[in-house]
Structure formats: C-alpha cells, structure tokens
Amino acid sequence: MLNKYARAFFTRVLTPFAALLIRLGVSPDAVTLAGTGGVVAGALVFYPRGEFFWGTVVITLFVFSDLVDGNMARQLGRSSRWGAFLDSTLDRVADGAIFGGLALWYAGRGDDNALCAVTIFCLASGQVVSYTKARGESIGLPVNVNGLVERAERLVISLVACGFSGLHKFGVPHIDILLPIALWIVALGSAVTLVQRVVTVRREAAEADAADRAVVQRGEGR
C-alpha cells in the first residue's frame, strides 16, 4: 500500500530537489551512497545509546535518498541495472543498521533480551523477505504478491514508533511502549509476508514446471 501510494506522492514532492541536484552535477550513485551512509550513522550512533528521537530525525533526513536517486536517474535517462543493483544492495545495509542499532540497545543499556531477539528477528526476516523475491525472479518467476509488511511498511512502522518513543526523554510519560509494540507488529507482519511469498513462489514454480512439461510433451507428440 505504501509502495503504491506514498512512493508516488513523495516522488512528486522530491522531483524539484532531484532536478536541483542534477544541475549541481551530483550523480544518482552519489546520492545513494550518501543516503545509506547517513542512515547507517544515524542508526548506529544514536540508537544503541537510546537516543531514539534524534536518531530517527537523522535517519528520516537521509532515507528519502531512496526516492531521490531513482528520480534523478529517470530525469537523466540513466536508469540501469547497476543503479538498481546498488540501490537494492544498500537498502539491505540500511535496514540492517536500523534494526542492528535497536538490537544493540536492547542487548546493552535497554536490558531486554526478549526484545533484542524480536529485533534480530525483524532484521533477519526483512532480509529473507527481500531475498525470496529476488531469488524467485532470478529463476524466471514473477513473484506476483503484495506482502502484508514489505520494506516501506517495516521502515514507517519502526521509525515512527522510534521517533515517538524518543519523546520519553522529553518528559512524555509511557510513550516508550510504542517501540516494543511496533517491533512485535513488524516481526509478525514480516513472518506473514515471508509465508505469502514462499507460497506464491511455490505456486508459480509449479505452474511454470507444468507449462514446461506440456511444451515437451507437445514436442514429443509431433
């Protein structure tokens, strides 16, 4: 849902900024690298110290690079396989840093092994969800399914909860409960999404294999 509607909205909003960067001679790859670096720094510097509000502010400023670099590439007419590969690979790095930073907090000063485990599951399941689609597509399957909690949903739920939970340090009572709730939601949603994709790949693979056998049988019957 977020990929369909929010991405289109923010793409329109960020188009003038993308055009400005092009005029300044900035390349899409440079934006991709800078954006990932900013997200990683924000997550691993602030989150392990429990600075969820400021960490989320920094991450949010850089996370939109994921839309800006693609917008720039389209305006330049330079959309390429390399750009898509780099963007997708660095997305995984950024996601790992976000959930890794939260896991470090719960493993350390946050002192909650259960939430540390849930956060690690969010990290791992997010990577596997992405892998199932990439692997399915690599063997020629469309993997035509809209998962319950995909990358956009994982980021929005987690970052919004982190940001608001950080207000606890500014005196807002009990708001820090939002982050554990969000992590459980992301964990459960990612598990459901993983099952959805595996089931879809299994069905599409069976259909493709049946179609291949039918072609062979028709060829043998001639």
Q: Which residues are annotated as a binding site?
A: 29-32, 66, 69-70, 74, 80, 87, 91
Distances in Å between the Cα of 96 and the Cα atoms of 26, 31, 140, 172 are 26, 19, 27, 29
For residues 126 and 144, give the distance between their C-alpha atoms in angstroms, rounded to a whole number: 18
Q: Among this protein's residues, is 95 annotated catalytic?
A: no
Enumerate the known binding-site residues for Mg(2+). 66, 69, 87, 91
Q: Are 25 and 75 in contact (CB under 8 A)?
A: no
Enumerate the known binding-site residues for a CDP-1,2-diacyl-sn-glycerol. 29-32, 70, 74, 80
The burial class, CB within 10 Å (0-12 / 13-18 / 19+), for 28 is buried
Q: Which residues of 134-164 are buried (b: 16+ CB within 10 A; e: fewer)?
A: eebeeeebebebebbbbbbbbbbbbbebbbb
- Active-site option among 91, 111, 176, 212: 91
Within 10 Å of residue 10's Cβ, how many Cβ atoms? 16
- Which residue, among 164, 132, 169, 165, has the nearest Cα to 147 in the 3D structure? 132
Which residues does the annotation mark as catalytic? Answer: 91
